[in-house]
Amino acid sequence: MNVGPFSLPVPPLIFFISVMVSLFAGWLFRRNRANVDGAVFGSVLTGLVVARLSFVLRYLPAYKDDWVKMLDFRDQGFDLVPGLVAGGCVAGWFFLRRRSMRIPLLAAVVAGAVVWSSATVVVSLSRQPANVPVVSLLNIDGVRQSLAKGDGRPTVVNLWATWCPPCQAEMPVLAEAQAGTPDLHIVFVNQGETRDVVSSYLNSHDLHIKNALLDPGLAVARAVSATAYPTTLFYDAQGRLLSAHLGQFSRASFAQAIEQFYPDIALNTGQ
116 and 211 in a single domain? The answer is no
3-state secondary structure of 136: strand
Contacts of 122 (CB under 8 A, 6+ apart): none
Contacts of 241 (CB under 8 A, 6+ apart): 127, 129, 130, 131, 132, 233, 234, 235
> What is the per-residue pLDDT for 56?
87
**What single letter denotes the amino acid at residue 94?**
F
Boundary of a domain, candidates 82, 101, 126: 126
What are 161-179's pLDDT values in tens digits? 999 999 999 999 999 999 9
In a domain, 271, yes or no: no
117 and 68 in a single domain? The answer is yes
Task: Give the span between the Cα atoms of 163 and 103, in whole angstroms.
Answer: 50
Boundary of a domain, candidates 75, 98, 126: 126
143 and 121 in a single domain? The answer is no
Contacts of 209 (CB under 8 A, 6+ apart): 171, 174, 175, 178, 188, 202
**C-beta separation of 103 from 31 below 8 A:** yes
Task: Give the span between the Cα atoms of 118 and 112, in whole angstroms.
Answer: 10
In a domain, 25, yes or no: yes
What are 202-240's pLDDT values in tens digits? 999 999 999 999 999 999 998 888 888 999 999 999 989
CATH number, position 256: 3.40.30.10
Assign 8 a pLDDT band (cuts: 50, 70, 90): low
122 and 140 in a single domain? The answer is no
Residue 270 has pLDDT above 60, yes or no: no
15 and 86 in a single domain? The answer is yes
Boundary of a domain, candidates 96, 126, 156: 126
146 and 70 in a single domain? The answer is no
- What are the DSSP calls for 210-243, one per residue? S-EEEETT-HHHHHTT--SSSEEEEE-TTSBEEE
In a domain, 267, yes or no: no
In a domain, 233, yes or no: yes
Expressed as residue numbers, the domain containing 63 is: 2-126
> What is the per-residue pLDDT for 3?
36
Dihedral pair phi/psi, residue 261, rounded to 5°: -90, -30
163 and 257 in a single domain? The answer is yes
* pTM of the predicted model as reported, rounded to 2 decimal places: 0.76
In a domain, 188, yes or no: yes
Residue 6 has pLDDT above 60, yes or no: no
34 and 96 in a single domain? The answer is yes
In a domain, 131, yes or no: no
> What is the per-residue pLDDT for 200?
94
Residue 81 has pLDDT above 70, yes or no: yes
What are 97-114's pLDDT values in tens digits? 888 888 899 999 999 999
> What is the per-residue pLDDT for 125?
64
Among residues 97, 99, 100, 106, the alpha carbon closest in space to that of 40 is found at 106
Residue 145 has pLDDT above 60, yes or no: yes
Among residues 55, 65, 66, the alpha carbon closest in space to that of 255 is found at 55
Residue 268, burial from CB neighbour count under 10 angstroms (0-12, 13-18, 19+): middle
Task: Give the span between the Cα atoms of 178 and 167, in whole angstroms.
Answer: 16
In a domain, 76, yes or no: yes
111 and 17 in a single domain? The answer is yes
151 and 234 in a single domain? The answer is yes
Helical H segments across the chain, by residue range: 10-28, 37-58, 80-97, 102-126, 165-180, 195-204, 219-223, 251-261
Assign 201 a pLDDT band (cuts: 50, 70, 90): very high
16 and 87 in a single domain? The answer is yes
The number of domains in the chain is: 2
119 and 140 in a single domain? The answer is no
Question: What value does the mean pLDDT of the chain take?
Answer: 86
In a domain, 232, yes or no: yes
